[in-house]
Amino acid sequence: MNTPALTIAQASCADDYDPNSMPVAKARAFIHQFLAPIEGTVRVPSHRNSAMDGWAMRGADLKADGETTLQEIGASFAGKPFAGRVGAGQCVRIMTGGVVPEGADTVVMQERAKASGKSIAFGGSNRTGQNVREAGEDLKKGSVALKKGRVIRPAELGLVASLGIAEIAVHRKLRVAFFSTGDELKSIGTPLGEGEIYDSNRYTLHGMLMRLDCEVLDMGVVRDDPQALESAFREAAANADVVITSGGVSVGEADFVKAMMDRLGEVVFWKIAMKPGRPLAYGRIEGAHFFGLPGNPVSVMVTFYQFVRDALLVLMGVDPVSPAPTFKATCTAKLKKAPGRTEFQRGVLSRAADGALTVKPTGEQGSGILKSMSDANCFIILDDATGNVETGTPVEVQLLEGIV
Ligand code: AMP
Ligand code: MG
């Protein structure tokens, strides 16, 4: 395994990138300096083995049709191979996973055999090579088992184990610090005063970050106060690779946040042509990536899924990063939509009795109505050009859950 000597700090000094507008491809290239593919060439399975319980023989000995009787000369069990060679007219008792002995190239399953002492009669139609798993069938010698950038899911864990490898090098977890901003916010467990609401964004962010297996640093609620915010940003950036905030990036508030950001780092503020989730800030604060998400609870989730998720995966070293899959489904309700922006309405995707995929919106679609997210299993993505949608129109949907 290669462990590059370069540290991130050294590389970031050496690499002349613009933290003001970090493109995904540049972030990916940066991270890739630290990735090393699994090395070494082995093959899995390492030997030709039987796919069935039965007998192994030369395929040429079997009659194409009708019964063939062969003499059993030994046994090959999984982990206990037969040491000899199978000659003409001979066969070897074999169990699933047993090494196919020298001379043999075919296995007949036991259900097609009649044993009378060591004389075994085989029936049915057979072909040479049947029920034999070739060496290297799973992984050819010299082939790459796992490319760098692959997420280790259950299948990858098994693949690595099948190679006899007990430890592999992986990226450390991405550290993500997050806080909510707003004088009106209270954490759960505290009574609400006049005009106050419970902070929900920190909980949705926590959940979304945990799903991506990030190491999270929950910094609570920070008041809309320049000094409190500045020290929260400094602390977050000092302790995390990524800082995510919610609230405080809308037009009225952006100005003082902008002034503060000029002292702390470099940040771009966008008004994105989308609904929900218009205001968004991205930048770097003292070496940490910064995502300033809108305050509205649904906007937080939408902007997280549409911008932050992929960026975090890139930072984690996942390569390639595939967007959550999209499908076409027939919309079973009318949708209100203004052209000129992309909308991410929340919907329920299901399969109708005739097998067709259908989607219906989850009711009220306001950016503060978190229930519309909670009831949904997908986004209905309506692009810039789309206007109102009539019942029965095919629309693009994106699943909120991915099966891995
Ligand atoms: P802002 O972007 O700070 O102007 O917030 C926009 C709206 O989202 C306001 O109605 C806020 O009260 C609400 N909001 C902001 N942060 C949170 C939060 N953490 N939890 C719930 N609602 C929030
Ligand atoms: Mg606010």
Query: If we measure between CA atoms, which residue out of 194, 160, 202, 199 comes closest to residue 182?
Result: 199
Output 276 or 250, whichever has higher pLDDT: 276
Could you give the percent of the chain with pLDDT greater than 90?
Answer: 55
The predicted pLDDT at position 170 comes to 82
Q: How confident is the model at residue 402 (pLDDT cuts 50, 70, 90)?
A: low
Q: What is the residue with the minimal CA distance to atom 15 of ligand 1?
A: 295
The predicted pLDDT at position 43 comes to 61
Q: How confident is the model at residue 4 (pLDDT cuts 50, 70, 90)?
A: very low
- Nearest 10 degrees: Cα torsion 101, 102, 108, 110: -30
Ligand nearest to C-alpha 185: 1
Which residues contact residue 109 at a Cβ distance below 8 angstroms, ignoring those fewer than 6 apart?
52, 53, 54, 131
Query: If we measure between CA atoms, which residue out of 316, 305, 278 comes closest to residue 400?
Result: 305
CA pair distance 155, 157, nearest whole angstrom: 5
Contact 27, 12 (CB under 8 A): no
The predicted pLDDT at position 311 comes to 85
Output 265 or 394, whichever has higher pLDDT: 394
Q: Characterize the bridge pairing of strands 242-246 and 288-293.
A: parallel
Q: Across residues 303-315, what is the average pLDDT?
A: 87
Q: What is the residue with the minimal CA distance to atom 11 of ligand 1?
A: 295
Q: Across residues 347-368, what is the average pLDDT?
A: 94
Phi, then psi, of 300 in degrees rounded to 5: -60, -45
Please list every protein residue whose CB sits less than 6 Å from any atom of ligand 1.
180, 182, 184-185, 197, 199-201, 246-248, 250, 294-297
Which residues contact residue 130 at a Cβ distance below 8 angstroms, ignoring those fewer than 6 apart?
59, 106, 107, 108
Query: If we measure between CA atoms, which residue out of 235, 219, 398 comes closest to residue 310?
Result: 398
Q: How confident is the model at residue 25 (pLDDT cuts 50, 70, 90)?
A: very low
**DSSP string computed for 154-198:** HHHHHHHHHTT------PPPPEEEEEEE-TTEE-TTS---TT-EE
Kindly tell me if the per-residue pLDDT of 268 is higher than 60. Answer: yes
Q: What is the atom index within ligand 1 of the atom nearest the CA of 184? A: 12
The predicted pLDDT at position 46 comes to 74
Q: What is the atom index within ligand 1 of the atom nearest the CA of 224? A: 3
CA pair distance 11, 34, nearest whole angstrom: 10
Q: What is the atom index within ligand 1 of the atom nearest the CA of 201? A: 19
Query: If we measure between CA atoms, which residue out of 297, 358, 305, 367 comes closest to residue 331?
Result: 358
The predicted pLDDT at position 12 comes to 52
Contact 346, 398 (CB under 8 A): no
188, 201, 249: residue to mutate for ligand 1 pocket, most atoms within 8 A of CB: 201
Q: How confident is the model at residue 30 (pLDDT cuts 50, 70, 90)?
A: very low
**pLDDT tens for each residue of 175-224:** 999 999 999 999 999 999 999 999 999 999 999 999 999 999 999 999 98
197, 224, 255: residue to mutate for ligand 1 pocket, most atoms within 8 A of CB: 197
Cis peptide upstream of residue 320 (ω within 30 degrees of 0) = yes
The predicted pLDDT at position 11 comes to 54
**What's the token pair of residue 250?**
């809308």
